[in-house]
Amino acid sequence: MSDALAPWLQQQLSALLAQRGHAWLLHGPSGLGQYRLGLELVRAWLCETPTPQGACGQCGSCHAIEVRTHADLCVLMPETVMMALGWPLGEKAQADIDDKKRKPSKEIRVDAMRDTVEFSQRTSARGRGKAVLVYPAERMNNVTANALLKTLEEPPGDARFVLASEAAHQLLPTIHSRCLGHTMLWPDEASALAWLQQQGVGAADAAAVLRAAGGRPDDALQFLQSGLDLKTWSLLPRAMARGDASALAGWAPAQAVDALQKLCHDLLAGSVGGAPRYFNPADLPMASTAALARWSRELARTARTVEHPFNAGLMLEALVSQARNALNSKA
């Protein structure tokens, strides 16, 4: 796996570094590299010998970030995300989780925000200012968002902020107005395919997995890392038409809903003569537009509660049954 910054992210990094701004909001749909771009931006800000292209990768500051112990960098993330991305939790939080007092939080916690506010008021340890990276910013609730807002409104001297979001519409409008916005760019297909191959994806699979991820390279990689295989993906439409629940066996409910929303999207597009985005057209059965529109609304309802399903097994069964009805309905 190559660690070089993808060319479309490098281009955005140089453009951001050429501008001033103490708070950036990087936004766009998932899978376009918000986290990586945010991290590269703070790395460049803190680097001792930065270039217009970014951090040097060699200095003490770059090294400190690499080993996740930079005194002037604060990453504010849900605990589950910190763990997945290899950032250490605070001592207390880690002890609570180790002692099974609670589970790692999927939201950005109020105590973590308090630590961040305190961090931003301290003086910089290495003398190059301080940086706060918030990701995914939409996982702040109103209390944490308001605490951050105060800090953004009265920037405490030498702290700079990057908020990276995959659902910026969920952020308070006041957060938007306090940040400079940057809309994540989509890579063209050839660059995305080349990048996937550098990450070790076979040439034959790269195009199919990029399609399954709707053209978003990070999501494509995640697709393969989450254990989904392309054969299951291509058989999914027919399996759903048969009501074959085994096709979704072992899937997390959120993953299943996401896949079915993509399937429904493609079938709806096909039913009105449009091109599918996620599936190979040859894998898609025909279905009625009205039934698909109903199914799309059902899926949207389910998506809102999918993080807390009453019973994951029952939810998958219900999803398959809805899918079968939609795919076999004549009107």
Residues binding Zn ion (CB under 5 A)? 47, 55-56, 59, 62
CA-CA distance, 113 to 134, in Å (whole number)?
A: 10
Asked whether the beta carbons of 30 and 219 are under 8 A apart, the reply is yes
Which is nearer to Zn ion, 129 or 214 (by Cβ)?
A: 129
Separation in Å, CA 92 to CA 83, 96, 125, 136: 15, 6, 23, 22
CA-CA distance, 44 to 17, in Å (whole number)?
A: 8
CA-CA distance, 128 to 122, in Å (whole number)?
A: 13
C-alpha radius of gyration, the chain, whole number? 22
Q: Can you spell out the DSSP letters for 28-69? A: SSTTS-HHHHHHHHHHHHH-SS-BTTB--SSSHHHHHHHTT-
Please state the closest distance from residue 184 (CB atom) to Zn ion, in A: 24
- Residues with Cβ within 8 Å of 216's Cβ and at least 6 positions away in sequence, in order, are 29, 30, 31, 32, 186
Please state the closest distance from residue 195 (CB atom) to Zn ion, in A: 24
Please state the closest distance from residue 45 (CB atom) to Zn ion, in A: 10
Residue matched to tokens 């529109």: 293
Which is nearer to Zn ion, 49 or 289 (by Cβ)?
A: 49
Please state the closest distance from residue 164 (CB atom) to Zn ion, in A: 21
Which is nearer to Zn ion, 6 or 47 (by Cβ)?
A: 47
Residue 193 forms beta bridges with which residues? none
Asked whether the beta carbons of 277 and 214 are under 8 A apart, the reply is yes
Please state the closest distance from residue 122 (CB atom) to Zn ion, in A: 22
Which is nearer to Zn ion, 56 or 207 (by Cβ)?
A: 56
Which is nearer to Zn ion, 55 or 248 (by Cβ)?
A: 55
Please state the closest distance from residue 130 (CB atom) to Zn ion, in A: 16
Which is nearer to Zn ion, 53 or 80 (by Cβ)?
A: 53
Asked whether the beta carbons of 196 and 221 are under 8 A apart, the reply is yes
Separation in Å, CA 195 to CA 2, 93, 147, 215, 265: 9, 36, 38, 12, 26
Which is nearer to Zn ion, 62 or 113 (by Cβ)?
A: 62
Please state the closest distance from residue 61 (CB atom) to Zn ion, in A: 5
